[in-house]
Structure 1
Amino acid sequence: MELPIKDIVLYKTGIGYFQRKGTIKGNSLKLNFRKEMMNDILATLTILTTNSQVTGVSYEGQDIDLQTALEDVLIKLSPQSTFLTLLKQVVGCKISIDISSTKYEGTLLGIQELPIVIEENIVNQQNLVLQKDDDGTILNLPILEIRNFKMLDDKMQGELEYFLQKIYESKKENNKTLTIFFDNVPSDGDEVEINYLQEIPAWKCSYRLVFTEEQVMIQGWSMVDNILDEDWINVNLSLIAGLPISFIYDLYSPNWIKRPEVERKDKYDITVTEFEEAKEEYEKMDKKKAARPPPSPPMAAPAPGAGKFYARAVSPKIADIVEEEAFDMDDEFSMERTSSSVKVTTEGEAEGDFFQYRIGVPITVSRNQSSLVPILQTYVKGQKISVYNEQARKNNPMLTVELENTSDLTLEEGPISLYEGARFTGEAMLPFMKKGEMRRIPYAIDLGVSVEKKLKSYSAKTHSIKIQNRGVYTYNFYIKEFTYTLINKTQDEEKEVIVEHPIESNYELFDTIEPFEKTKNFYRFKLKIDPKKKDELIIKTRYLSSSITNYEYVNKSFIENLLKLKLINETENDFLLKMIKLMHKKNETMSDLNALKSDKNNIFNDQSRLRQNLKSLKATSSETRLRDKYISKLEDEEDKLERIEDAIKSLEIKAIELEEKIKDLIKNHVIEE
Structure 2
Amino acid sequence: MKHAFLAALSLALSACAGPLAKGPSVDLRLRHVVLYQNGLGYFERTGVMSGERLTLRFREREVDDVLKSMVVVEQNLGPNETPSTVSALLPRSGQASGPEEPTELELVFSPAARRPVSIAYAVPTAAWKATYRVILPAKGQKEKRALLQAWALISNIGDEDWSEVDVTLATGAPLSYVSNLRAPAMLDRPELKGVYDGEGGALAPVLSERSPGPDTDRDGVLDHEDACPREPGSASPQPDRHGCPHTVRVASSSEIQILTAVPFDKGSDVIPPRARPLIEELSRTLKSVPHLRAFEVEGHASSDESGAADLAARRAAAVRAALLQLGVTAELVTRSHGTQMPLVAGDTEEARQRNRRVALRALDVGQAQAPSRGREAPAVTPEAMEKVPEGAASVDAVAGAFRYAIANPVTLPKKSSALITLINRPVAGADVLLFRPDPAAPASATHPFRAAQIENRSALGLQPGSVSIFSGGTFVGEGVLTRLLPGESATIPYAIDSSTEVRATSMTTDVPVRFVSLSRGALRVEDRYRRVTVYDVRPGRDVPETLLIRHARATGFEPQGLPGCTDAMPDACLVEKKLAPGAPQKVVVEETRLSQREIPLVQADSERLSLYLKGSSLPAELRARLDRALALRRALDAANDELDPLRRRRAELIDRAAELRESLRTIERTPQAGKLRQTMLDRLAEVARQSEEIGAKITQRIEDVAMARAELDDTLRDLVIEGR
Pairwise TM-score range, normalised by the shorter structure: 0.5 to 0.7
1:217 corresponds to which residue? 147
Deviations 1:110-157 (A, max 9, x none): xxxxxxxxxxxxxxxxxxxxxxxxxxxxxxxxxxxxxxxxxxxxxxxx
2:88 corresponds to which residue? 57
* Identity across matched positions, percent: 22
In structure 2, what residue type is equivalent to 1:572?
L
In structure 2, the CA distance between the partners of 1:345 and 1:248, relative to structure 1 (3 Å rule), is same
**Contact 1:9 1:237 (8 Å CA) reproduced:** yes
1:40 corresponds to which residue? 65
Q: Cα offset for 1:191?
A: 1.5
In structure 2, what residue type is equivalent to 1:361?
N
Distance in 2 of aligned mates of 1:44 and 1:554: 73
1:8 corresponds to which residue? 33
In structure 2, the CA distance between the partners of 1:341 and 1:579, relative to structure 1 (3 Å rule), is closer
2:436 equivalent among 360, 365, 389:
389
**Contact 1:509 1:542 (8 Å CA) reproduced:** yes
Q: Cα offset for 1:437?
A: 2.9
In structure 2, what residue type is equivalent to 1:240?
A
In structure 2, the CA distance between the partners of 1:503 and 1:181, relative to structure 1 (3 Å rule), is same
1:245 corresponds to which residue? 175
1:25 corresponds to which residue? 50
1:428 equivalent among 479, 484, 496:
479
1:349 equivalent among 388, 392, 396:
396
1:587-602 superposed matches below 5 A: none
1:181 corresponds to which residue? 108
In structure 2, what residue type is equivalent to 1:201?
A
In structure 1, what residue type is equivalent to 2:73?
L
DSSP 3-state at the match of 1:202? coil
DSSP 3-state at the match of 1:506? coil
> What are structure 1's unaligned runs of at least 5 residues?
65-168, 259-324, 586-656
Distance in 2 of aligned mates of 1:195 and 1:564: 75
Distance in 2 of aligned mates of 1:20 and 1:388: 53
1:442 corresponds to which residue? 493
2:532 corresponds to which residue? 481
2:325 corresponds to which residue? none
**Contact 1:346 1:376 (8 Å CA) reproduced:** no
1:203 maps to 2:128: yes
Distance in 1 of aligned mates of 2:115 and 2:176: 33
Deviations 1:559-589 (A, max 9, x none): 798399967965423234467899999xxxx
1:180-579 superposed matches below 5 A: 180-185=107-112, 189-213=114-138, 215-255=145-185, 331=232, 333-334=245-246, 336-337=249-250, 339-342=386-389, 344-391=391-438, 393-458=444-509, 462-464=512-514, 468=518, 469-471=520-522, 477-490=528-541, 495-510=545-560, 513=563, 515-543=565-593, 550-553=600-603, 558=606, 562=610, 570-577=624-631
In structure 1, what residue type is equivalent to 2:552?
P
**Contact 1:45 1:196 (8 Å CA) reproduced:** yes
DSSP 3-state at the match of 2:485? coil
DSSP 3-state at the match of 2:177? coil
Q: Cα offset for 1:547?
A: 6.5
Q: Cα offset for 1:223?
A: 1.5
In structure 2, what residue type is equivalent to 1:5?
L
**Contact 2:632 2:711 (8 Å CA) reproduced:** no
1:629-644 superposed matches below 5 A: none
Distance in 2 of aligned mates of 1:584 and 1:442: 62
Once the two structures are overlaid, the 10-residue window that deviates more, 500-509 or 235-244, is 500-509
Distance in 2 of aligned mates of 1:573 and 1:477: 23
> What are structure 2's unaligned runs of at least 5 residues?
1-25, 78-82, 189-216, 221-229, 234-244, 251-384, 617-622, 640-706
In structure 2, what residue type is equivalent to 1:242?
G
Deviations 1:623-666 (A, max 9, x none): xxxxxxxxxxxxxxxxxxxxxxxxxxxxxxxxxx9999877633
**Contact 2:536 2:587 (8 Å CA) reproduced:** yes
**Structure 1 vs Structure 2 CA RMSD:** 4.1
Q: Cα offset for 1:201?
A: 2.1
DSSP 3-state at the match of 2:166? strand
Distance in 2 of aligned mates of 1:426 and 1:247: 39
**Contact 2:433 2:449 (8 Å CA) reproduced:** yes
Deviations 1:429-463 (A, max 9, x none): 22322333322222222234211222345555x55
Greater gyration radius: 1
Deviations 1:143-184 (A, max 9, x none): xxxxxxxxxxxxxxxxxxxxxxxxxx7699722100112345
In structure 2, the CA distance between the partners of 1:672 and 1:514, relative to structure 1 (3 Å rule), is farther
DSSP 3-state at the match of 1:27? strand
Q: Cα offset for 1:497?
A: 0.8
In structure 2, the CA distance between the partners of 1:458 and 1:371, relative to structure 1 (3 Å rule), is same
Q: Cα offset for 1:56?
A: 1.9
Once the two structures are overlaid, the 10-residue window that deviates more, 3-12 or 507-516, is 507-516
User: What TM-score do you get using the length of structure 1 for normalisation?
Assistant: 0.55
In structure 2, the CA distance between the partners of 1:61 and 1:326, relative to structure 1 (3 Å rule), is farther
Q: Cα offset for 1:414?
A: 1.5
Deviations 1:325-364 (A, max 9, x none): 9999984634845845456353212235121111111112
Distance in 2 of aligned mates of 1:376 and 1:499: 30
Distance in 1 of aligned mates of 2:567 and 2:390: 39
In structure 2, the CA distance between the partners of 1:7 and 1:502, relative to structure 1 (3 Å rule), is same
**Contact 2:566 2:574 (8 Å CA) reproduced:** yes
In structure 2, the CA distance between the partners of 1:550 and 1:192, relative to structure 1 (3 Å rule), is closer
1:98-117 superposed matches below 5 A: none
Q: Cα offset for 1:58?
A: 0.5
Distance in 2 of aligned mates of 1:564 and 1:211: 56
Q: Cα offset for 1:517?
A: 4.0
Q: Cα offset for 1:15?
A: 1.5
Distance in 2 of aligned mates of 1:454 and 1:472: 35
Distance in 1 of aligned mates of 2:486 and 2:496: 28
In structure 2, what residue type is equivalent to 1:362?
P
Distance in 2 of aligned mates of 1:483 and 1:473: 33
In structure 2, the CA distance between the partners of 1:221 and 1:670, relative to structure 1 (3 Å rule), is same
Q: Cα offset for 1:197?
A: 1.2
User: What TM-score do you get using the length of structure 2 for normalisation?
Assistant: 0.52
DSSP 3-state at the match of 2:64? helix
Count of paired positions: 426
